[in-house]
Amino acid sequence: MDSSSTRMSLYLCNPHKYLCCPSRAASFRIFIHHHRLFSSAKTHLASAQTPITPVPRTVTMPVSTATTTLSAIEQSKRLAAYTAVDKHILPEHKVIGIGSGSTVPYVVERIVAQGRELNKDRVFIPTGFQSKELIVMSNLNLGDIDQFPTIDVTIDGADEVDLDLNCIKGGGACQLREKVLAEAANTFIVVADYRKNAECLGTNFTPGVPIEVTPFAYGQVLRKLQNVLGSPNATLRMAKAKAGPVVTDNSNFVIDAPFPRETMMNPSTILAKIKMLTGVVEVGLFCDMTQAAYFGNEDGSVTVKRKVGSRVVEESILPS
């Protein structure tokens, strides 16, 4: 049998004579077929190794407040966020949880203002898509709770905070991940505007307690809330920009369950009852978890409520 190099030499010297032999002609056709396949593969490999220029994503981010005029509400949110970051995000803190909500962009804005030198060795853990995008677009180091199970400080927003620093959270449907980061933190801080500062949960935030449920079980959970646990107006949260219900980052549904004032005066009791319902993933009641809450006020002051032992102490920081 001719070798590959011999066949090619004979063919190039006298192709007609070489191909007159039937066995050689058949063998050569196979050789040429394989040679073409090999050449095509080399060309494809070379093109695959050509560097590809990445196309940047277009992400809508909050406009910097340095050059914009803010409403009174937005000013109070920024005031609370800035004050909390200044008090609690210290140089020694290297793993920081970033929560969700309308106040959180101001938290990230203030952290960025601390400078690249401080932030270059820090890792920031998000509670959801919004905070992840804030971290990435601010050129901060993005981390994951699996990599950093212990967090120095988590700062998050709240829908309402009572006299004992119990919170309703989940208006943005992130309560599961928010609670994971809150529990993982050595210090959990809440920031909000003055409207969220209440004597009892459910006073100003009237939609109810956000409850994340598996889609398969939502109907059963809804009936239990309405007929057994005392929330007859509990409803499945519907989306505003899509047909159907809101879907969380964890592919679950959200039920909003309003309860009467007497029930919300002791939120840890109703929290335990809701958690016992099969199909409930997490409840947007954060009880005995918050170390301090910062509320920005219309007059430029900040109301601070913080835990001191078993008591909650309130103070005001006046505008400078």
- The single residue of 109, 178, 212, 282 carrying the catalytic annotation is 178
Q: What is the spatial distance between Cα 167 and Cα 285, in angstroms, rounded to a whole number?
A: 6
Strands 280-283 and 209-213: antiparallel
Q: Are 158 and 192 in contact (CB under 8 A)?
A: yes
Q: What is the spatial distance between Cα 172 and Cα 170, in angstroms, rounded to a whole number?
A: 5
The gap between the terminal CA atoms of the chain, to the nearest Å, is 96
Q: Are 292 and 304 in contact (CB under 8 A)?
A: yes
Q: What does the CA dihedral 158, 161, 166, 171 come to, rounded to 10 degrees?
A: -30
Q: What is the spatial distance between Cα 195 and Cα 49, in angstroms, rounded to a whole number?
A: 57
Active site residue 199: no
Nearest to 209 by CA among 173, 268, 168, 237: 168
Question: b/e per residue, 69-87, with b = 16+ CB within 10 A?
Answer: eeeeebbbbbbbbbbbbee
8-state DSSP, 273: H
Q: Are 294 and 84 in contact (CB under 8 A)?
A: yes
Q: Just list the catalytic residues.
A: 178
